[in-house]
Structure 1
């Protein structure tokens, strides 16, 4: 997989596209939620903590599917947000966790997510060479 940059578009803290080698197995991950193993929601009221738990759960789900965070080719980050700062707080956690593997991402403010007290959900697509 390779991350593709654009010299023609505005500079962004992520790649504009990802290219997946032929023969790769694509994994469309369910949205990672900030749930503890007992099903309760972690970090009520704390978007940053919820983002960390979502990423931990995403890494576990990827591992269970035979993949790693570096196999992710794109993400969609959903945040119950009232201000742009709410979005940035979550993005900072996501960006730090992905580090140099800054895959194409979409950051979206939403009004509500599915679990009680849930403020963050992270969807991902990964590609694993077979």
Structure 2
């Protein structure tokens, strides 16, 4: 399946960011809007309680499953928003490193946010994403 996402880096902005500043997809691509991927096990329980990295990994795994069900992969993601239930920068960075590593060279535009609480009991991480694919 052809890739549709084009990542855009700006020479006018800081190169410290570990992600592209923008991304585009052709007008004829199909956009996929994912609900927030949560760190839930198959039985609905929260995975990796108290572990930011573990919850980020489980959220990425669940996001990959949702993408696959929609006919996409991580390489088709055009943007993400990573929500971390913490006011500590270190916790946000811990979760972010897991997400960043999962995407590898496909460093999509992303927003990392510290929030006060997330929807499930003991939930620390949630990842929202939009993907774009060309159906053949």
TM range (shorter): over 0.9
TM-score, with length taken from structure 1:
0.98
Residue 46 of structure 2 is matched in structure 1 by 41
Residue 126 of structure 1 is matched in structure 2 by 131
For residues 42 and 82 of structure 1, what CA distance do their matches in structure 2 show?
A: 21
CA RMSD of aligned residues (A): 0.6
Note the residue ranges of structure 1 that are not aligned, 5 or more in a row.
none
* Matched position secondary structure for 1:78: strand
Residue 92 of structure 1 is matched in structure 2 by 97
Residue 59 of structure 2 is matched in structure 1 by 54
TM-score, with length taken from structure 2:
0.94
Residue 19 of structure 1 is matched in structure 2 by 24
Q: Answer yes or no: is 1:111 the counterpart of 2:116.
A: yes
Note the residue ranges of structure 2 that are not aligned, 5 or more in a row.
none
Across the two proteins, how many residue pairs are aligned to each other? 130
* Matched position secondary structure for 1:21: coil
Residue 80 of structure 1 is matched in structure 2 by 85
